[in-house]
Structure 1
Amino acid sequence: MRAVEFQEHGGPEVLRIVEAPVPEPGPGQVTVDVVWAGVNFADVKARAAGYRVPALPYRPGLEVSGRIRAVGEGVEGLRTGQEVAALVDGGGYAEVVLAEAATVFVLPGGMDLHTAATLPIVLPTAHALIHEVGRLRAGESVLVHGAAGGIGTVAGQLARAAGAGAVYGVASTDAKAAYALAHGYDEVFSPAAFDRDVRRATGGKGVDLVLDPVGGDTLRRGLEALSVFGRMVSFGNAGGAEPWQAGQSELYAQGRSIGGFSVLALAQSAPDALHALTERAVRAVADGRVTLPVTAEFDLADAAGAHHLVGGRASTGKLLLRVAA
């Protein structure tokens, strides 16, 4: 089978198409004939800086859609030929992938494989940020960093569907801001001035919920943009800064709180909880509350092109690799 891997860290040019043996499922596992694979910033970080890379060579890719090829011993509720989406711990850029059965999700009726490839990371993450961790209530306001990205696109729609009183975003370019405004955001601010803009937009009150994938100083400034009893959810460190810590002096005075979420960590620690979360989140797509726009597609052999776009911070929405017809 064909697969994409890298044997050293570096730019997109280190990605290579290789021939690899077809994996066989062990107990509790399935293999999937991949049709589409999602491209995420985590893949770019893996290639460039070794993020979550245990050893080289390494095959990137965390989410796929396709059809079950084979089922391992002890797997229940899954069978050969079913159309599924799957969250995988690396290896998604390939014609056949190995997945733990607990992170494989049978598609609801009417959902196509193209849409399904956008689900495994973006949808449960956005749902958890708004509902399970962020606990947004009707009438409250939310600020989402990376508003034009895949998670930001869905988080804005979920916030609106939950009855948010105001949905604010942060985007790095005018083009990204326009994209976010077209997908449910009321106002979109620049990274340099978002904290001041939040205070202006809310009459000095601050927002009830901040969703932050950037970390570092951005997280600190976001905490200061919270209202009394406001919540922040950290779900990444895309800025690459040293972790910033908050304690009594930052939280106690106004009853603020900080939570965190990682869909990949949840898959490792509580796969059953992830499965239930994903099923809840998929209902938002099935009933039309959320759409998942794919803004660019690349052939598997041009994974480097997808990485150029994501790594250059020029992408909006969701990017996919076309693996099979």
Structure 2
Amino acid sequence: MHAIVIEKPGDPDVLRWREVPDPVIGHDEVLLDVVAAGVNRADLMQRLGFYPPPEGAPEYPGLEVSGRVAAVGDGVTGWTVGDEACALLSGGGYATRVAVPAGQLLPVPRGLSLVEAAALPEVACTVWGNVFMLAGLRSGESFLVHGGAGGIGTMAIQLAKAYGARVLCTAGSEEKLERCRELGADVAINYRTEDFVEAARPVDVILDNMGAKYLPRNVAALGTGGRLVVIGLQGGGVGELDLGALLTKRASVHATSLRARPLDEKAEIVAGVREHVWPLVESGAVRPILDRTLPMAEAAAAHRTMEESAHVGKIVLTV
């Protein structure tokens, strides 16, 4: 098969389309012939050498794919050769084939193409697992997501709105703010010119990809009983936490990641997505937002686009 190989940590030009050995599936795994793969910021971090794959995962980047089942392990039920599916991965998605634990497979939602489906698993599992399973966002509460125009942001806006929350987001341009409003954001805040604390507080749940840079202001924006979930460190990993403010508000901070979780935890999140998110996708209430598609051999161009923040929604690579 072929895959995108990271020759050495560095800029996008280190990504090379190479012939590599085929994956070998285990007892509880499925082999997918990949049709498309979603691009995530974690892929950029891996390319730079800051986010290595967990032990046992393929060395190639790529955390979500769609494709067709080419083979199934002896212990797998419910999937047969030829089925169309999309999948959450620990790595290896930038390839023509990938082995997937059966618990991380999802059917392609009715009405979507395989290319569209590739834009869903990572963001849907991230949002459902963190905003709803961990932070427990409920109807009538307020929800703030940073980076509202990105892949996670566009999914978070739609899901939170579908579940009856008041939705706020941040973005860096008027064009992106308008796209967020179109997706359902009640309040869209330009982080370059506005103070999101003043515009948002008090808020019940915050989904944050910035980390240390936003930590004090996120805590300030929380209301009583508020929950902050940090899923990224684009703004650094070491910050000052005001425990007095948390105690006064009876608020909480959670820092979590999806990639390195045990298989059973991932399977639980995937099952929740299938039960609670897929019906909304099939009804049209939630949809994948595709900014552009590129051939997988042009992964370097996809990474440059993401680094420039020149996109809204997802970038997808096609085989």
TM-score in terms of structure 2 length: 0.91
Contact kept, 8 Å, 2:109 with 2:117, in 1: the verdict is no
Counterpart CA distance in 1 for 2:220 and 2:308 is 29
Q: Compared with structure 1, are the counterparts of its residues 221 and 198 closer, same or farther at alpha carbon in structure 2 (3 Å cutoff)?
A: closer
Matched with 1:129 is 130
Which position in structure 2 is the counterpart of 1:312? 308
SS in 1 for 2:248: coil
Q: How does 1:294-313 map to 2 (within 5 A)?
A: 294-313=290-309
Moved more, 70-79 or 243-252: 243-252
Give the aligned partner of residue 89 of structure 1.
90
Corresponding residue number in structure 2 for 1:101: 102
Q: How much has 1:119 moved relative to structure 2?
A: 1.6
Question: For the residues of structure 2 that align with 1:85 and 1:212, how far apart are their CA atoms?
Answer: 26
Q: How far is 1:197 from its partner? A: 4.1
Q: 1:253 aligns with which of 245, 248, 252?
A: 248
SS state at 2:3 partner: strand
Over 3 Å counting, the alpha-carbon distance change for 1:136 and 1:89 in structure 2 is closer
Cα distance per residue 1:34-69 (max 9 Å; x no partner) = 1111110000110013312469x9411111000000
Residue 35 in 1 paired to residue 35 in 2?
A: yes
In the aligned structure 2, how far is the partner of 1:50 from the partner of 1:260? Answer: 17
Contact 1:63 1:92 in 2 (8 A): yes
Please say if residues 115 and 318 of structure 2, whose CA atoms lie closer than 8 Å, have aligned partners that are also in contact.
Answer: no
- Does the 8 Å CA contact 1:130/1:158 hold for their aligned counterparts? no
1:244 aligns with 2:239: yes
Change in 2 beyond 3 A, CA 1:54/1:270: closer
Partners of 1:271 and 1:293 in 2: how far apart?
Answer: 23
Larger displacement relative to structure 2 (106-115 or 278-287): 106-115
Residue 247 of structure 2 aligns to which amino acid in structure 1? Answer: Y
Shift in Å at residue 111 of structure 1?
3.4
Instruction: Return the alpha-carbon distance in structure 1 between the equivalents of residues 221 and 193 of structure 2.
Output: 11
Return closer, same or farther for 1:110/1:20 CA change in 2, 3 Å cut-off.
same
Of the three residues 228, 235, 242, the one matched with 1:232 is 228
Does residue 191 of the first structure (1) align with residue 191 of the second (2)? yes
For structure 2, the residue ranges without an aligned partner over 5 or more in a row are: none
Alpha-carbon deviation of 1:306?
A: 0.2
CA contact 1:24–1:70 (8 Å) conserved in 2: no
- Determine whether 1:219 maps to 2:220: no
- Report the Cα distance in structure 1 between the residues aligned to 2:59 and 2:77, rounded to whole angstroms: 30
Aligned to 2:205: 209
Following the alignment from structure 2 to structure 1, what is the Cα–Cα distance between the partners of residues 211 and 12?
24
Whole-angstrom CA distance in 2 between matches of 1:47 and 1:257 = 32
Say if 1:315 and 1:49 are closer, same or farther in 2 by CA, change over 3 A.
farther
- Cα contact 1:170–1:188 (8 A) shared by 2: yes
Per the alignment, residue 282 of structure 2 pairs with: 286
* 1:121-173, Cα deviation, whole Å (9 max, x unpaired): 01121223332222222222221101000111111111211222x32111123
Contact 2:145 2:170 in 1 (8 A): yes
After superposition, where does 1:4-15 map in structure 2 within 5 Å? 4-15=4-15
Q: CA deviation at 1:269?
A: 5.5
Partner Cα distance (1:257, 1:70) in 2: 44
Query: Who is 1:170 aligned against?
Result: 170
Q: Provide the residue aligned with 1:270 in structure 2.
A: 265
Partners of 1:6 and 1:59 within 8 A in 2: yes
C-alpha contact 1:133 1:261 (8 A) present in aligned 2: no
Give the CA deviation at 1:234. Answer: 1.4
SS in structure 2 of the partner of residue 51 of structure 1: coil
Report percent identity of matched pairs. Answer: 38
Instruction: Find the aligned partners of 2:170 and 2:179 in 1 and give their Cα distance.
Output: 11
Partner SS, residue 81 of structure 2: coil
Matches within 5 A, 1:24-103: 24-53=24-53, 58-103=59-104
Contact 1:3 1:20 (8 Å CA) reproduced: yes
Give 1:290 deviation, angstroms: 0.5
Question: 8 Å contact 2:209–2:233 — kept in the other structure?
Answer: yes
**Which amino acid in structure 2 is aligned with residue 85 of structure 1?**
C
Distance 2:13 2:59 in 1: 14
Q: Partners in 2 of 1:169 and 1:49 — Cα distance?
A: 30
Counterpart-to-counterpart distance in 2, 1:224 and 1:193? 18
Paired residue type of 2:167: V
Stretch of structure 1 that moved more, 12-21 or 183-192: 183-192
Shift, 1:314, TM fit = 2.0
Amino acid at match of 1:47: R
Q: CA RMSD in A?
A: 2.1
- For 1:111 and 1:267, the matched residues in 2 are separated by 29
**Distance in 1 of aligned mates of 2:40 and 2:63:** 8
Q: Return 37-46 or 18-27, whichever deviates more.
A: 18-27
Name the count of aligned residue pairs.
316
* SS across alignment from 2:259: helix
